[in-house]
Amino acid sequence: MQEWLAHVEIVALIQNWALWRDTGDWDKLRTTVHPDATMTATWFHGRFDEFIERLGAHKRIEAAVQCPCGILGPFLGGRVAKLVSGPGEMPAIGN
């Protein structure tokens, strides 16, 4: 059971990372990494905070010119759900 829960937590972290990156929710995106994290992508290498700054600038430019393409990569299309359950109950999807 512990291994399954760890797997679910890792999957949720990855999906949240992509969702919060794609939606520009920078504060939530920062919660997915260590405060001293670095980021490497095909177009960037450096501090994660700087990565977020560049993404924000790119999203503002993209919105201004209404360009559907860009350096952000593929859209994951993930969903975020909060599991709610009591002791001994099966988790249920909730808000």
Q: Is the dihedral of CA 65, 66, 67, 71 positive or negative?
A: positive
How many domains are contained in the chain? 1
In tens, the pLDDT along 20-79 reads 888 888 999 999 999 999 999 888 899 999 999 998 887 766 665 555 555 444 555 555
Q: Mean pLDDT across the stretch 14-20?
A: 89
Let me know if 29 is exposed, middle or buried by CB neighbors in 10 A (0-12, 13-18, 19+).
buried
Structural domain range at position 83: 2-94
